[in-house]
Amino acid sequence: MSAAAPSTATKESIVKLSGIKKTFWRGKEPVKVLDNLSLDIPKGSFEALMGPSGSGKSTLLNLIAGLDKPTEGTVNVGGEMIHALSEGGLAKWRSQNIGFIFQAFNLLPVLTAQQNVELPLLLRKLSAAERAKRAQTALRIVGLEDRMDHFPRQLSGGQEQRVTIARAIVNDPKILVCDEPTGNLDKQSTQDILQLLLVRLNKEFEKTILMVTHDPAAAECATIIRKLDKGQLV
Full 3-state SS string of the chain: CCCCCCCCCCCCEEEEEEEEEEEEEECCEEEEEEEEEEEEEECCCEEEEECCCCCCHHHHHHHHCCCCCCCEEEEEECCEEHHHCCHHHHHHHHHHHEEEEECCCCCCCCCCHHHHHHHHHHHCCCCHHHHHHHHHHHHHHCCCCCCCCCCHHHCCHHHHHHHHHHHHHCCCCCEEEEECCCCCCCHHHHHHHHHHHHHHHHHHCCCEEEEECCCHHHHCCCCEEEEEECCEEC
pLDDT value of position 10: 56
Whether the pLDDT of residue 9 is over 80: the answer is no
Extents of the domains making up the chain:
13-233
Whether the pLDDT of residue 98 is over 80: the answer is yes
- 27-40 tens-digit pLDDT: 889 989 999 999 99
pLDDT value of position 141: 95
Task: Work out the pLDDT band at 175, boundaries 50, 70, 90.
Answer: very high
Please name which of 56, 94, 100 lies closest in space to residue 230, comparing C-alpha atoms: 56
Please name which of 74, 63, 11 lies closest in space to residue 42, comparing C-alpha atoms: 11
CATH no., domain 13-233: 3.40.50.300
Query: Residue 166, exposed/middle/buried by CB under 10 A (0-12, 13-18, 19+)?
Result: buried
pLDDT value of position 231: 85
Whether the pLDDT of residue 5 is over 70: the answer is no
- Kindly report the average pLDDT of the chain as a whole number: 91
Contact 44, 22 (CB under 8 A): no
d(CA 111, CA 152): 8
- Please state the rounded mean pLDDT for residues 209-228: 93
d(CA 77, CA 132): 30
Name the pTM for this structure: 0.88
Task: Work out the pLDDT band at 118, boundaries 50, 70, 90.
Answer: very high
- 187-201 tens-digit pLDDT: 999 999 999 998 899
Whether the pLDDT of residue 3 is over 50: the answer is no
- Please state the rounded mean pLDDT for residues 149-168: 96
